[in-house]
Amino acid sequence: MKMPLEDGAPAWFHEAVAQPRSAHALTSRDGTGLHMAGWNAGERDKPPLLLVHGYRGNAHWWDFIAPWFCATHRVFALDLAGMGESGSRAIYTTAAFTDDVIAAVEQLAPQSPQGGVTVAAHSFGGGRLLEGCVRTRRLISHAIVLDSHIAMRGDAPFPRLAVGNPRPYADRRLAESRFRLLPDQPHLGYLKSYLASQSLREVDGGWTWQFDPALPLDLMGLPMDDYARAVEVPVDLVRGEHSALLDAPRARRIAAMLPRCRSLIELPDAHHHLMLDQPLALVATLRCLLARPPA
């Protein structure tokens, strides 16, 4: 259900979210049904670009980003299992989320003019992307990791922070007003309002969020130390200058561990949720990275 957009949103935003999306069904390795949105799925002469959201997010986080790349790429955004319109699991593991990314890549790669898929993934999705690069036998041709913490040996466990209301909100507008960013950060109000309106589903008794409340609160991936040298595809890393999850020393450490890291870019005045405080700077950065062919 599309909700009225907040007054003050610029014309580019209205134009972007008005672009039609197609729905695509696929299946992960364990049989979980997944949903993928497409913007120009019929343009098979263009190389595919897959966008992957962060934890407890959904494909709508890319609605105002994805259309900017349709001139050069065939653009899709995946809903990871237990989030958005994808099915849920009885047990969630990082390996299974990596399987979700691989399932999307395996569906798109055979239709690629070059035989590979470029994947850009944010936050939790970035770790699954890097793990997927090891397991896909080069079906991923280019990886762009956006402000992802990436687990390493010696990391302390994530704090078990409760997220969301386990009971439905009786009123949709009330639910939208309770939408929160984790971590919280400065943002453009119209973007947060849009995501709030697109992140709800109607259930018995009212409205609830589009993620499974059974998702673990402290899920961490494999230590990057165990697989970094096996990531054979070109990788670009992007971090927000003021990110609460990825500081500059850790970003440099990640870049040094990846044998084909092409660039480490710091987005000025951006925080962890890059698309919510610096959306056009993120678009410009991605355009430059996509224009540089993988070596």
Q: Is residue 261 part of a domain?
A: yes
Domain CATH number, residue 271: 3.40.50.1820
Overall number of domains in the chain: 1
* 261 vs 255: CA distance, rounded Å: 6
Task: Please provide the average confidence, as pLDDT, over all residues in the chain.
Answer: 93
Is 3's pLDDT higher than 80? no
CA distances (Å), origin 121, targets 61, 193, 197, 237, 274? 11, 22, 22, 10, 12
Q: Is residue 225 part of a domain?
A: yes
Does 6 have pLDDT greater than 90?
no
User: What value does the mean pLDDT take over residues 84-100?
Assistant: 97
pLDDT digits (tens, 9 = 90+) for 46-72: 999 999 999 999 999 999 999 999 999
Task: Write the pLDDT tens digit of every residue in 98-139.
Answer: 999 999 999 999 999 988 999 999 999 999 999 999 999 789
**Is 119 within the bounds of a domain?**
yes
pLDDT higher than threshold 80 for residue 245: yes
Q: Is 206 a member of any domain?
A: yes
Does 177 map to a domain? Answer: yes
Percent of the chain with pLDDT over 70: 94
Structural domain of residue 77, as residue ranges? 11-149+157-291
Q: Is residue 210 part of a domain?
A: yes
Query: Is the confidence at residue 283, as pLDDT, over 60?
Result: yes
Q: Assess if residue 65 is contained within a domain.
A: yes
Q: Does 4 map to a domain?
A: no
